[in-house]
Amino acid sequence: MVKSPLQIARESYFPKLPASLKGAVKIVEGNKTESVADQADIKKMFPNTYGMPVITFEPGSESKEYPAVKVGVILSGGQAPGGHNVISGLFDGLLNCNKENKLYGFLGGPSGLTDNQFIELTADVVDHYRNTGGFDIIGSGRTKLEEEAQFDKVIENCKALGINALVVIGGDDSNTNACVLAEYFLQKKAGIQVIGVPKTIDGDLKNEVVETSFGFDTACKTYSELIGNIQRDANSAKKYYHFIRLMGRSASHICLECALQTQPNITIISEEVEAKGMTLDDIVDNIADIVVKRAENGDNFGTILIPEGVVEFVPAMKKLISELNDILAKHETEVNVLDSNKDRRDFVATKLTEESATVFTHLPNSFANQLMLDRDPHGNVQVSAIETEKLLIDMVKAKLKKLKKSGDFSGKFGGLGHFFGYEGRCATPSNFDADYCYSLGMTASLLISEGKSGYMASVKNLTAPADEWIPGGAPITMMMNMEKRHGAMKPVIQKALVVLDGAPFKKLEENREDWAMGTKYVYPGPIQYFGPKEVCDTTTHTLRLEQAR
């Protein structure tokens, strides 16, 4: 393997740890918990894992002797910077608990569990991946484990290896699956624990016990570097509006964080669009209005940040997409046999309500086609394939053409579209994510050694120095509510949306006009791994504002 100088240097970095993970540990249990909503339904579905207490680990007075265990780990869903450090922390933590412990990595995500594809993770393997980006140590996948036959196959494969516990590193859906597995294993008395670890660059897996998901910090810093580069170009050439779509299907945390880091002219926040009942035309009018005002100041350039999921937050579009999800789930075979996109559009239009059919038939054909693309494993539209930035460029251009004709716009408009997605998912983790993920892995090893199941690893107080972080675990059931998936109500971890009266959004809101009319760009530059702590170890603006540090 050929390694870059940065890879070689990062191999020698030892992540900073909370004080309670540096020696003997004492476990402290809090009060019993309940789900965030739909308590009766969740309790009925998870009788063995509902109501458990939140756990914290504090420095102990004497070391414990833990029995030897064999642990399996999977990486589930999209990549996020820091996954390798979770595995490194898990590996080291297990050996700290008992030198006889073994760790197995199941290959390709959840399917590795059912197909029994695995490798033993030894020091020779793990050491090559410390502090690196990506999930390539064992690969990832999006297979959904939801059938009892799959659960039984997992039990069979784990029993054959002598595995006592599984660690699922994933987002909200993956951790929901982890909780379902934990419940099933307890019902079957399988003797297999399940622990989850919170991963998603989207930042929407957070709550009172999970302050942020890992990967969010690194991804936002990576995107912000690129946005800063583009803004410097825009301010140099002074002739283009850059429409930059950023990841975040269900929430706008990435868009908001990148705006706070780079100060673009316009930032669209999906949750605000929904709260104000805005239409696509409203969004276009707002953009066009700022373009016109900047042109009056002689500025025919700018940057616009767009969350990839914004179309699902426009009320009429949200209703349309919800109907499309149900129709395409129920009529999948009928739709797939049709020869052309026009035939598929015409067929779907006959199944929509009158209001949604009107919206659907008035969309540009290319955009309507994108709304009908194959759904993801959870039955949702794949918004990353919907080129919202191009749609908005075309609509703004058309609006400005009318304004120019009426004499209300005398400037110039050139729009360029960008989508930043994969660029941020496998970046070398920031010091924060390297430290945080290693602590999460260590915490997961302790939860296993303490015999816990149905818990998510948690590390809190993250804006303080790492020595003051508080590791522990939270019952996954406490994060759940009931939502409609594939046309049926299912238990899932509740997504955290941007809070419009929260400090991060308020910070954006109070600066919006200034950033729109001025050119107040900030150029964050690349992630720094070496140097003073204010350059290398800062957390996100979002986390600092939320915790008022």
200 is in an annotated binding site: yes
Residue 180 has pLDDT above 80, yes or no: yes
- The answer to whether residues 76 and 159 belong to one domain is yes
- The answer to whether residues 295 and 443 belong to one domain is no
Task: Establish if 100 belongs to a structural domain.
Answer: yes
Measure the CA–CA gap between 161 and 376, rounded to whole angstroms: 32
Band (97; pLDDT cuts 50, 70, 90) = very high
- The answer to whether residues 368 and 393 belong to one domain is no
In this structure, are residues 278 and 270 in contact, taking their beta carbons and an 8 Å threshold? no
Condensed to tens digits (0 to 9), the pLDDT of residues 39-55 reads 999 999 999 999 999 99
- The answer to whether residues 463 and 517 belong to one domain is no
Please tell me the total count of domains within the chain: 3
Domain containing residue 138: CATH number: 3.40.50.450
Residue 399 amino acid letter: K
Largest CA distance in the chain: 80
Task: Establish if 415 belongs to a structural domain.
Answer: yes
- The answer to whether residues 347 and 414 belong to one domain is no
Condensed to tens digits (0 to 9), the pLDDT of residues 380-439 reads 777 777 899 999 999 999 999 999 999 999 999 999 999 999 999 999 999 999 999 999
Measure the CA–CA gap between 457 and 57, rounded to whole angstroms: 11
The residues near 44 (Cβ < 8 Å, ≥ 6 apart) are: none
Domain that holds residue 334: 313-382
Residue 376 has pLDDT above 70, yes or no: no
Residue 378 has pLDDT above 70, yes or no: no
Count the helix, strand and coil residues of the chain and give each as a percent rounded to the nearest 5.
45, 15, 35
Percent of the chain beyond pLDDT 90? 87
Provide the 8-state DSSP code for 498. Answer: P
201 is in an annotated binding site: yes
344 is in an annotated binding site: no
Which domain-ending residue is among 324, 358, 382? 382
Q: Which residues of 5-39 are buried (b: 16+ CB within 10 A; e: fewer)?
A: eebeebeebebbbbebbeeebebeeeeebebbebe
Provide the 8-state DSSP code for 380. Answer: -
Higher-confidence position of 257 and 318: 257
Measure the CA–CA gap between 296 and 364, rounded to whole angstroms: 31
* pLDDT for the residue 17: 97
First to last CA, the chain: 42
Token couple for 153 = 């196959």
- The answer to whether residues 233 and 344 belong to one domain is no
Task: Establish if 22 belongs to a structural domain.
Answer: no
Radius of gyration of the chain (CA): 24
202 is in an annotated binding site: yes
- The answer to whether residues 163 and 55 belong to one domain is yes
Token couple for 334 = 């009928």
Among the ranges given (72-86, 350-364, 466-480), the one the predictor scored with the smallest mean pLDDT: 350-364
Band (450; pLDDT cuts 50, 70, 90) = very high
* pLDDT for the residue 33: 97
- The answer to whether residues 85 and 151 belong to one domain is yes
In this structure, are residues 437 and 200 in contact, taking their beta carbons and an 8 Å threshold? no
- The answer to whether residues 46 and 96 belong to one domain is yes
Task: Establish if 82 belongs to a structural domain.
Answer: yes
Measure the CA–CA gap between 268 and 244, rounded to whole angstroms: 10
Average pLDDT, the chain: 95
* pLDDT for the residue 377: 64
531 is in an annotated binding site: no
Which domain-ending residue is among 462, 485, 508? 485
Residue 115 a catalytic site member: no
Of the candidates 143, 89, 93, 92, the one whose C-alpha atom is nearest the C-alpha of residue 117 is 143
308 is in an annotated binding site: yes
294 is in an annotated binding site: no
Give pTM, 2 decimals.
0.94
CB atoms within 10 A of CB 99: 8
- The answer to whether residues 321 and 444 belong to one domain is no
Task: Establish if 9 belongs to a structural domain.
Answer: no
217 is in an annotated binding site: no
Task: Establish if 11 belongs to a structural domain.
Answer: no
Residue 83 has pLDDT above 80, yes or no: yes
- Mean pLDDT confidence for 343-365: 92
172 is in an annotated binding site: yes
- Mean pLDDT confidence for 92-102: 98
- Mean pLDDT confidence for 147-157: 97
Domain containing residue 374: CATH number: 1.10.10.480
* pLDDT for the residue 336: 87
- Mean pLDDT confidence for 58-73: 94
Helix (H) or strand (E) holding 41: helix 39-45
- The answer to whether residues 159 and 101 belong to one domain is yes
* pLDDT for the residue 379: 66
* pLDDT for the residue 269: 98
Residue 245 amino acid letter: R
* pLDDT for the residue 381: 72
- CA torsion through residues 116, 121, 125, 126, sign: positive
Band (160; pLDDT cuts 50, 70, 90) = very high
Higher-confidence position of 322 and 427: 427
In this structure, are residues 106 and 112 in contact, taking their beta carbons and an 8 Å threshold? yes
272 is in an annotated binding site: no
Choice among 41, 92, 124, 202 that is catalytic = 202
- The answer to whether residues 514 and 371 belong to one domain is no
Task: Establish if 448 belongs to a structural domain.
Answer: yes
Give the distance from CA 527 to its chain's centroid.
19
* pLDDT for the residue 483: 92
Residue 494 has pLDDT above 90, yes or no: yes
Task: Establish if 490 belongs to a structural domain.
Answer: no
Of the candidates 440, 424, 430, 429, the one whose C-alpha atom is nearest the C-alpha of residue 533 is 430
Provide the 8-state DSSP code for 496. Answer: P
Query: Dihedrals φ, ψ of 266, to 5°?
Result: -140, 135
Which domain-ending residue is among 366, 382, 398? 382
Band (105; pLDDT cuts 50, 70, 90) = very high
Token couple for 94 = 């297990």
423 is in an annotated binding site: yes
Residue 243 amino acid letter: F
